[in-house]
Amino acid sequence: MPRLRSTPKNRKKRGHVSAGHGRIGKHRKHPRGRGCAGGQHHNKINFDKYHPGYFGKIGMREYRYNAFGSKHFCPTIPVSKLWSLVDEETKQKYKDDSVNAVVIDVTKHGFHKVLGTGRLPNRKLIVLARFYSEKAEKKIKKVGGAALLTA
């Protein structure tokens, strides 16, 4: 822990007219403006040198950008979590059934895309989603299932 001073540092400067801040420049409160003031005017050199590209625009505007109407909205789910979307009753029903496949509509659970991380149980499933990664599609087909696209 730093040692506390008994007297402030400026005590030494008492009696000296400008207290170490110079007679000409003067120690004023905000001589160049507060914050980012003057970035395109009197402080332009500083902004150009240390913050290039701070001002201006790039690209096209995207109007009415919101999470649900946007083309960027794409909640994902990994292959390993697909089986957790199936309720217990359905799991018991298809437990010993090796002929019929379980249908999992991912979009009803609020997901759009299925990703290929993790493992699938060795059961036939039909998965309905808007998008699939290549890995996910391969894994679903490997266990004897089908990856179908929905709108």
User: Contact at 8 Å (CB) between 85 and 102?
Assistant: no
Mean pLDDT over 98-127 rounds to: 93
> How far is it, in rounded angstroms, from Cα 146 to Cα 37?
60
pLDDT in tens, 3-39: 888 999 999 999 999 999 999 989 999 999 999 999 9
pLDDT in tens, 42-88: 999 999 999 999 999 999 887 776 666 677 788 999 999 999 999 99
42 Cβ contact list (under 8 Å, min separation 6): 32, 33
**pTM higher than 0.85:** no
User: Contact at 8 Å (CB) between 149 and 130?
Assistant: yes
- When pLDDT is cut at 50, 70 and 90, the band that residue 99 belongs to is confident
Residue 119 has pLDDT above 70, yes or no: yes
- Number of CB atoms found within 10 A of residue 1's CB: 3
